A and B are shown apart, each in its own frame.
Chain A
Amino acid sequence: MTGIPQPAAIEGERGYLLRYARLQLRNPAQAEDAVQETLLAAIEGAARFSGKSSLRTWLTGILKHKIIDQLRRSAREQPFAAADDDRAETEAIDALFAGDGHWREMPADWGSPDAALENSRFRAALELCLQRLPERTARVFMMREVMEMPTGEICQELQITATNCWVMLHRARLILRECLEQTWFDPPRR
């Protein structure tokens, strides 16, 4: 049953690809475009599918390129410049720590992702927290966590230094952690 994937099978992955693209691109129209281009390229190039990986993996590989194209397009229209977000983010991070650099609050016990992810309300909370990440930080974070790009490639793509990249990833993770803690895990206050 291996061989050239049928258009219907390719089309069947649309939902998965769309969720993936939306996480990275945020703009629904851009995500839609990237997925549409991916499906078309896959149907046209179906003969190139080797069957060594799953259809989904193959399609995701194409989608990553289409997403990068979209990111480049929007970077041309709206350059990836240091934003006003920067100071707000630095302040948000500083506020998590006391003067001696230790956590102000006792972090909650989150348990395992399995338990949390079974709850659709948790998934909604996670989605909301991801959406709240400032644009520029989110872009770097999603490239790392959703597209699983090595930081070296991210730096090159966005023309930022490795240090800058690590700083942004650190901020993204702590902001996201704090958001989930506040909106979902609701820790006891000390």
Chain B
Amino acid sequence: MMPSCKKASELMSQGQDRALGTLEGLQLKLHLLICQRCRRVTRHLGFLREAIRRYRDGN
């Protein structure tokens, strides 16, 4: 079953907080293969994490 973007975004987010299960990881990967919007959002979440840490550290 292909998850919706909303569900995919939940998995992307949780992927920053815990190790995703095999099935979850596979579902997300498949979704990202076909969904450009979610590929961008995945990059945005990585961007946010890095930007906040660098902002915190003042560089």
Task: Decide if A and B are genuine partners.
Answer: yes
Q: Is the CB of A177 within 8 A of B45?
A: yes
Pick the contact of A166: B14, B37, B44 (CB < 8 A): B14
Pick the contact of A107: B4, B16, B37, B48 (CB < 8 A): B37
Q: Is the CB of B5 within 8 A of A107?
A: no
Pick the contact of A173: B4, B36, B48, B54 (CB < 8 A): B48
Please name all residues of chain A whose beta carbon is closer than 8 Å to the beta carbon of B18 when the two chains form the complex: 151, 166
B29 interface residue per 8 A CB criterion: no
Proximity string of chain A (5-16) to chain B, C-beta cutoff 8 Å, 1 when within and 0 when not = 000000000011
B58 interface residue per 8 A CB criterion: yes
Proximity string of chain B (4-40) to chain A, C-beta cutoff 8 Å, 1 when within and 0 when not = 1111011001101110000000000000000111101
Pick the contact of B40: A15, A101, A107, A113 (CB < 8 A): A107
A68 interface residue per 8 A CB criterion: no
Q: Is the CB of A170 within 8 A of B10?
A: yes
Q: Is the CB of B56 within 8 A of A173?
A: no
In the assembled complex, the CB of B33 is this many whole angstroms from the nearest CB of chain A, namely 15
What count of chain B residues pass the 8 Å CB interface test? 33
The A interface is mostly helix, strand or loop, or mixed, namely helix
Most buried by A among B36, B40, B58: B40
Q: Is the CB of B56 within 8 A of A169?
A: no
* Chain B residue at smallest Cβ distance from A177: B44
Q: For the complex, what is the distance from the CA of A166 to the CA of B58, rounded to whole Å?
A: 27
A128 interface residue per 8 A CB criterion: no
Q: For the complex, what is the distance from the CA of A72 to the CA of B19, rounded to whole Å?
A: 29
Proximity string of chain A (162-186) to chain B, C-beta cutoff 8 Å, 1 when within and 0 when not = 0001100110011011001100000
Residues of B within 8 A of A (CB): 4-7, 9-10, 13-14, 16-18, 35-38, 40-41, 43-45, 47-59
